[in-house]
Amino acid sequence: MDNDKLQAIEKLLFRVGAEVVNEAKEIAPYKTGDLKRDIQVFDEHINKGEVSIGNSLLAKYAPYVHYGTGRQAKGKSKAPKKKGQKAQPYLSDGLNNYIRSGGFDRAINDCGNEISEEIFKGLKDSLKNISIK
């Protein structure tokens, strides 16, 4: 796959990540605002086709908010006898909201259009160089 098509896919991945971040910020719980401000796209592996969203170490408590604690935690808890904090899965809910809103479909269609334009342009250029011998 040539560089233009790879760039279109990387652009798609970053777009999806950024739009999911926006959704997550809309629904993340708010106390001081630090949690919301810290939600971000991590794209260090975008050239491998990977992008992720989440909080950095600036909001060390983010996993406890997202997954909950004690008996109310999603999954296994180290303190099952304590009541704990209810899970508020703002990241996964943000992704689900983004998909349900049609945002993901629009992003995929835009990427497909960009790639097909590149293919068409390449074919057109190739056809100009045809010679009959």
* Residue-level pLDDT at 78: 56
Residue of 93, 113, 107, 112 whose CA lies nearest to 18: 107
* Residue-level pLDDT at 122: 80
Residues 42-67 have pLDDT tens digits of: 999 998 889 999 999 889 999 999 99
Q: Output the pTM of the full model.
A: 0.81
Residues 83-116 have pLDDT tens digits of: 788 999 999 999 999 999 999 999 999 999 989 8
The answer for 84, left when phi > 0, alpha when psi is -120 to 50, beta otherwise, is left
* Residue-level pLDDT at 24: 97
Looking at per-residue pLDDT, the higher value among 15 and 120 belongs to: 15
